[in-house]
A and B are shown apart, each in its own frame.
Chain A
Amino acid sequence: MVVFVGVAIGSVLPACPFIAYPIIASLYAAGASLAGVMAMLFGCGLAFACRISSDLTFFNSKVARLRLLLTFTTAIVAGLLVYFLL
């Protein structure tokens, strides 16, 4: 659950790490678990509106859909790996 919530929070954070990382760091300092923080880092900037618009501008909707599906799956798999291995 922690992983899914982490990826969901991370994906709505801005893609720029200078904005997103301090927010994640403050959540980590507030007591968020390592797996949750890592999931946020993996999910950071995945669904950001500018990424979807550039998917559609440079490629097409099929690429955008596949990109979203694969990057979200990658982030969840990475989060689960951290959760179970560490």
Chain B
Amino acid sequence: MRYIEKIIGRDWGHRAVIIAAICLYLYLSITDPGAAKASAVECLKEIKKLIFPLTVAMFIGGAVKNLMSSKFLSKFFGKKAGVKGVFSSIAVGSVLPPCPFVSYPVIKGFDDGGAGFQIIIMLIEATSVSVGRIFCGLVIFEPEIVGLRLLFAFLSAVIIGFIYYLLHTRLFCSRTKHSNHPLSTPHNPYKSNGSMLEKRKEVGK
């Protein structure tokens, strides 16, 4: 069962991608075998092109949790990093390459290292800033447009990241306050049985 899980993935998100790819290629090979063959060749070329950066990214991702101390990770990317976490995650996410096959293994390294869920989301969100696209942008557009894109993308990433942080912490805190906190349950032993002082008075009587 574990081997099957390794092949087809652990959750339905993984499985959906694999099933979609199999169905697509089956459909293509029946309706248009030439297109299926051309697509497969193109895909293999893409794999050949990506195999090196992908391997390097996985090595970086694996090293992230060992390179950074747990203290450093929890301070800047941990669950309690606070506003500092918003800025540090957006700063790191924006300089990561926009290609998900290169940036996601690095972000996965942060996830494995113990970074908070909101930090992971903000790191992924900030990859859309794509500082690395400057060079490609300068080839095609004027420097003003490239600069404006970078400035406004970074500004809006910070705004949305901050709003998401506020919403996440508020929702998380309210959930902890009202449902998970042991003292807020209706069967609170301290509340129903009275305080220790009252108990002592009762014993004294």
Enumerate chain A interface residues (CB-CB to B < 8 A): 15, 17-18, 21-22, 25, 28, 34, 37-38, 41-42, 45-46, 50-51, 53-61, 63-64, 66-67, 70-71, 73-75, 77-78, 81-82, 86
Contact = CB atoms under 8 A, between A and B. Distances in A.
Interface of B: 9, 11-14, 16-17, 98-101, 104-105, 107-108, 111, 120-121, 124-125, 128, 133, 136-137, 139-141, 145, 148-149, 152-153, 155-157, 159-161, 164
B140 A22 contact: yes
Contact of A66 (B100, B104, B121): B121
A61 B145 contact: no
Contacts of B120: 59, 63
Given A74-B156, A77-B156, A82 B99 contact: no
Contacts of A63: 120-121, 124
Main secondary structure of the interface of B (DSSP, over half): helix
A61 B36 CA distance: 28
A56 B140 CA distance: 32
A42 B140 CA distance: 16
A56 to B, nearest CB: 4
Nearest to B125: A70
Contacts of B107: 58
B13 A61 contact: yes
Nearest to A54: B100
30 contacts: A15-B98, A15-B99, A21-B137, A28-B141, A34-B145, A37-B145, A38-B148, A38-B152, A41-B149, A42-B152, A42-B153, A45-B98, A50-B100, A54-B100, A54-B104, A55-B100, A56-B17, A58-B108, A59-B111, A59-B120, A60-B13, A74-B156, A74-B160, A75-B128, A77-B156, A78-B155, A78-B156, A81-B152, A82-B148, A82-B152
Nearest to A37: B145
